[in-house]
Structure 1
């Protein structure tokens, strides 16, 4: 069990990048993060309590599949079906950076 910032405990959820991202992890956006379309920028954005992050196309495609049901391996496979080549390590690095910022949480597969 991992302690959350409020002092409560949460089972099978990791929010630290130290752990790494495995193919069986099921990523999902953290509760305080929302992905939406910004009409002004004509792009997908992540809304955090004090931050707006403008996503590029591939970042938005990855996060679109981060629903807590898809594993990282399934996300890579799905993106591979859409595009010619999807490097597994780049998807994991992207997710690791978001886990480190606590924008994405990982449920154990």
Structure 2
């Protein structure tokens, strides 16, 4: 087994960390799934800019669509058995603890 650099692990998990933060902070029952996914993608792109990672303009639309697809897959895996984001959030018995943990991980990204 090889040891991994903890910072490299954070880089790999940045999209998931941002996804979890938004999921556990979710409170707007009127927000559509599409809008929810777009907020996560926008936040991730801001994270890339903060880390001085450039996204070429000609690839921007393709990258955004790929990120949307990845976030949708994360939602399906995370919410397995729930029909909506609201149902998932309401079913969380330890939501405050998960919310706090996700905020802590999120704060380490910036």
Name the one with the larger strand percent: 1
Higher relative contact order (CA 8 A, sep 6+): 2
With the shorter chain as reference, the TM-score category is 0.3 to 0.5
* Structure number having the greater helix percentage: 2
TM-score scaled to structure 1, two decimals?
0.33
Provide the TM-score with structure 2 as the length reference.
0.33
